[in-house]
């Protein structure tokens, strides 16, 4: 019974951790849109704009990757089972 509760809680926790992927998706879409607008206004600064956008997207994506790692740990490694 206790094992089933831990597995269910781990599955719910993994699902909640994957909600963390929504924020980076919205942020990266917004950044790409603003970068396209900036390049349209100032085409000669395209290189600088793209570098800045890519660094920002990489930082934003790290949040989603952390959520994915937590979800994988909860589903497959499941350190909570060892506490029984």
Q: Which of the two residues, 18 and 78, has the higher pLDDT score?
A: 18
| Distance separating alpha carbons of residues 59 and 46, to the nearest angstrom | 20
Domains in the chain: boundaries: 2-83
Q: What is the pLDDT of residue 24?
A: 84
Q: What is the pLDDT of residues 1-57, one digit of tens each?
A: 888 898 899 999 999 988 888 888 898 889 899 999 999 999 999 999 999 999 988
Q: What is the pLDDT of residue 47?
A: 92
Q: Which fold does the domain 2-83 belong to in CATH?
A: F1FO ATP Synthase (1.20.20)
User: How many Cβ atoms sit within 10 Å of the Cβ of residue 37?
Assistant: 11
User: How many Cβ atoms sit within 10 Å of the Cβ of residue 46?
Assistant: 13
> pTM of the full predicted structure?
0.73
Report angle CA 16, 11, 62 to the nearest 5 degrees.
45
What is the DSSP-derived secondary structure letter of residue 84?
Answer: -
Q: What is the pLDDT of residue 1?
A: 81
């Amino acid at each position: 019974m206790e094992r089933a509760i831990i597995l269910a809680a781990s599955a719910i926790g993994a699902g909640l951790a994957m909600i963390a992927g929504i924020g980076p998706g919205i942020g990266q879409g917004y950044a790409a849109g603003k970068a396209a607008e900036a390049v349209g206004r100032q085409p000669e600064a395209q290189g600088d704009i793209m570098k800045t956008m890519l660094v920002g997207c990489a930082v934003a994506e790290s949040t989603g990757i952390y959520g994915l790692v937590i979800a994988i740990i909860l589903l497959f490694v499941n350190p909570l089972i060892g506490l029984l």
